[in-house]
Amino acid sequence: MIKIRGLNKRYGDFDALKGIDLDVARGEFLVVLGPSGAGKSTLLRCINRLAEPTSGEVHIDGQLAQPSGASLRALRRQVAMIFQHYNVVPRLSVQKNVLTGRMGSLPSLLSWLQFFPRKDVDIARECLRRVELQDKAELRTDTLSGGQKQRVGIARALAQQPKVILADEPVASLDPKTSRTVLNYLKQASRELGITVVCNLHQIDYAREFGERIVGVSGGRIVYDGGPEGLTDEVLRKIYPGLDECDSHSRSSTAATAIPAPALRPLELEEAGA
Ligand SMILES: Nc1ncnc2c1ncn2[C@@H]1O[C@H](COP(=O)(O)OP(=O)(O)OP(=O)(O)O)[C@@H](O)[C@H]1O
């Protein structure tokens, strides 16, 4: 479903992604694990062209992703995104937020008028049912908790009826119990609807629990690609080069382990006066 070849992304003189090759199968739930600054978000953003790759190719369902035009619009319809900070419109109702996932499929006038045909309302309702928020459909979204807002984010992504969902640290702002609930909804939707999910995570424990396949990214390169059972201490040291300096308890604890060790680039070090 996703085929990436020789993907490089350079910001100024900094290489954020260095020669990424990756294939993700239809319906696969892939977790991308890595420390802060590793290049996880950049990878997702190059897949849906929110960031323009410096070189390399991304194919979605056999189609080469193009930087603009009709082909870009088609790509964006097929690839939905879920964000760390939910990106919901607070003053809109829950259902209206989910319906925004249908906008790419509507004629532009209807979309501009925010007029949604019955069929689209039914799709939105069904997506809300999947994340068990059907009872909240008419509420303003800013009355929901963080976990519920993220479930709205999932429902909106599902309403788009995409082939691929890119989830950029979808549980980074949530407590462990809520995080597991949200990841369960996402995984269940992927399994039942055959959607390919690429989910960026900081937390090793969630990656082990939810990732069928885990790609470890460090310094803009893939340093691990395999199952959760392969996440040995040696592999984790490759993904998180500073891991030995961290509290060793945190790796084996049952609580979710987040290691957002910042990988500062030279410019930032200079700015920090180092
Ligand atoms: N628009 C940009 N301009 C300049 N540098 C950028 C830009 N976006 C990202 N970077 C740099 O590229 C590197 C990778 O960033 P990216 O956000 O992809 O990492 P990440 O693994 O997703 O980190 P985090 O987990 O903290 O979100 C970082 O060093 C970051 O500072």
| Atom 5 of ligand 1, nearest CA residue | 11
- pTM reported for the whole predicted model: 0.87
CA of 230 to the centre of ligand 1 (A): 26
84 lines ligand 1 (CB under 6 A): no
Ligand 1, atom nearest to 262 Cα: 26
pLDDT at 238 over 70: yes
Domain containing 16 equals 2-271
CA distance 96 to 52: 30
Tokens of 37: 């600054």
CA of 186 to the centre of ligand 1 (A): 24
Q: How many domains does the chain have?
A: 1
Ligand 1, atom nearest to 172 Cα: 25
Tell which residue, 215, 213, 189, 205, has the closest CA to residue 256.
205
| Atom 4 of ligand 1, nearest CA residue | 11
CATH code of the domain covering residue 210: 3.40.50.300
pLDDT at 231 over 80: yes
Query: What pLDDT band is residue 266 in, cutting at 50, 70 and 90?
Result: very low
Distances in Å between the Cα of 4 and the Cα atoms of 62, 127, 198 are: 11, 30, 13
Query: What pLDDT band is residue 255 in, cutting at 50, 70 and 90?
Result: very low
pLDDT at 74: 85
Determine the residue of 40, 82, 223 to mutate for testing ligand 1's pocket, defined as the one with the most ligand atoms within 8 A of the Cβ atom: 40
Higher per-residue confidence, 167 vs 117: 167
Q: What is the pLDDT of residues 21-78, one digit of tens each?
A: 999 999 999 999 999 999 999 999 999 999 999 999 999 998 888 777 788 888 889 9
Give the list of residues 6+ apart from residue 147 with CB closer than 8 angstroms, or none: 174, 175, 178, 179, 181, 182
pLDDT at 90: 94
CA distance 20 to 220: 8
16 lines ligand 1 (CB under 6 A): yes
Q: What is the pLDDT of residues 85-111, one digit of tens each?
A: 999 999 999 999 999 999 877 666 566
Rounded average pLDDT over 139-162: 96
What is the interface pTM, i.e. ipTM, of the complex?
0.96
